[in-house]
Amino acid sequence: MLRPTITGWGRCTPESIVTNDDLATVMDTSDEWITTRSGIKERRVSHVENSDMATVAALRALAAAGLEPTDLDYIMVATATPDRFIPAMACHVQAKLGVNAIAASDVNAGCTGFIYGLSLANGLMATGAARRILLIGSERLTPYLDLERRDTAVLFGDGAGAVVLEAAGGEEGLRSINVGANGTLAGSLTVEGAGSSWMEEPMPVRVVMDGREVFRNAVVGMEAAAHKALADAGWAVEDVDLLIPHQANIRIIDATTKRLGIDPDKVVTNIDSYGNTSAASIPLALSEAVDQGRVAPGSKIVLVAFGAGLTWGAATLQWGDRIRPLGTSDVGLPASDRAGIQIMADRSRAWHQ
């Protein structure tokens, strides 16, 4: 049966960095609190639209795969922060890639969006409905952060990662995948103020979260999803070469790694540099891991995520022979004329005037 294989990878992170010390200038927090509670040291803040970051990541992934946008038959964007609610952000990305007619749609499964996208791509390839899919995880979360809510404002950042998936029939590619959700816990991590529920009474648009509830469920959910993915692939924990978990909190990652019994040296983490970039975090970390030489031909990789919904999911995939990009793209974002902390502060202040 045909299944998705990653043949191209790319990422895009905006240039503006906001450190924990920067945040401490606009709210009652400290580098020490943020670092010890979350592992985050800094995050990126976008001055451009989410679809701009997604498009740059996509062009880099396409170059790595040696393909043109016209070679694709599906553009899928995992995001919870699209440029607009309508149309799907994938349509904006399609236009920015300079193509049309190719199928384009979004997937919203919170921070698990990339795994959900992979699961949908798997189905499309298994049925022969698509052979080349561009799967992007891209988030512009910082406009949703209320600087008067220090429990959430310090945790999230902006960025994008993308992969080109091509259908293949050998040993390589996706070996197992599972996704799930518990909608009874929807209120524990949500954006209030945006959506049809708030049309009659506009209010500040912001992320709100019950951090402890999410934390508890994240560790249990990621462990169970990863165990199921391993069992379905017929892999033992010792077979795993690399674990790429969603980057939400270093303590969640460490606890999940310990419960799974995976050697910490095999775990990819970059939360210190980017914070939680939701659906972008796994393709961003994957792309960095490949470029840093952490992926070898035939590497056995586990992806695992947890997020708003609450949702969860895990996948096993065996890397192919090629670990070098076929080409590179010199596209990039335009320069920013404002400091990252200024972008965040201006946006948050606007709601409180």
CA distance 267 to 105: 31
Annotated catalytic residue, options 20, 122, 270, 276: 276
Reply yes or no: is the peptide bond before residue 87 cis, omega within 30 of 0.
yes
217 catalytically annotated: no
248 binds ligand COA (CB under 6 A): yes
Structural element, H or E, at residue 274: helix 271-274
Q: Look up tokens 């952060």; give the residue.
A: 145
91 catalytically annotated: no
Annotated catalytic residue, options 111, 122, 217, 249: 111
Q: What CA–CA distances, in Å, run from 144 to 113, 194, 205, 228, 348?
A: 18, 10, 6, 34, 8
272 binds ligand COA (CB under 6 A): no
**3-class SS of residue 134:** strand
CB closer to ligand COA, 5 vs 273: 273
Q: Choose the stretch contacting ligand COA; rule: CB under 6 A; options: 31-39, 55-63, 226-234, 266-274.
A: 31-39
Pairing of strands 189-192, 242-245: unpaired
111 catalytically annotated: yes
177 binds ligand COA (CB under 6 A): no
CA distance 9 to 286: 8
Q: Using CB under 6 A, count the residues that bind ligand COA.
A: 22
CB of 136 to ligand COA, least distance (A): 18
CB of 12 to ligand COA, least distance (A): 21
CB closer to ligand COA, 81 vs 318: 81
111 binds ligand COA (CB under 6 A): yes
Q: Concatenated DSSP letters for 95-129?
A: HHTT--SSEEEEE-BTBTHHHHHHHHHHHHHHTTS
Active site residues: 111, 246, 276
Note the residues at the interface with ligand COA (CB under 6 A): 29, 33-34, 37-38, 111, 150-151, 154, 189, 209, 211-212, 214-215, 218, 248-249, 252, 276, 306-307
